[in-house]
Amino acid sequence: MTHLEALPPLAALLIALLVVCGSSLALLGSVGLVRLRSFYQRIHAPTLCYSYGTFLIILASMAMFSLAEARPVLHEFVIGGFMLITPPISLLMLGRAALRRDRDVKLGHDEVVPPHIPASEAPEGAPRDLTRYGAGPSDEG
């Protein structure tokens, strides 16, 4: 482990602190994913991993490689920027899909996604089945 011993002691301690904090926050996000009760609570927990965990570990990696190679190593910013942009998009789409699926179950469609019919071909005044309204799926887990 020559490259770890070659770092300045204070910088090594700082990098160790960043790594430990980041991985602990990622672990905390997964604990929330396991322990929270409904999907709409669960979708909040992994954002700890997405934002804080990634940010701290990327900062540690950037500091370590910059000090080890004695030049600024900034390519971890690519992952940082990517993780800044994509998780809101994917989680937003997942949340909308979950909302739609829950609404379908409440309306009695029961997991079967209706075929995509253009608005011009929709039947006139088709009634919506409301007999099972309020009987949502069991989301306890």
Partner 1 sequence: MSAGLILQYALSYAQIALILSIAMTCWRMLRGPRAQDRVLAIDTMYINAMLLFLLIGMGNGNVFFFESALVIAILGFVTTVCAAKFLMRGEVIE
Binding positions for partner 1, rule: CB under 8 A = 1, 3-10, 12-13, 15-17, 19-20, 22-24, 26-27, 29-31, 33-34, 39, 42-43, 46, 49-50, 53-54, 57-58, 60-61, 64-65, 68, 73, 75-76, 78-79, 82-83, 86-87, 89-91, 93-94, 96-98, 100-101, 113-116, 137-141
Q: Which residue bears the tokens 């430990």?
A: 20
- Tell me how far the alpha carbon of residue 104 is from its chain's centroid: 24
Sign of CA dihedral 111, 114, 116, 122: negative
Longest dimension (CA), the chain: 76
CB of 5 to partner 1, least distance (A): 4
Closer CB to partner 1, residue 4 or residue 130?
4
Dist CA 124 CA 141 (whole Å): 41
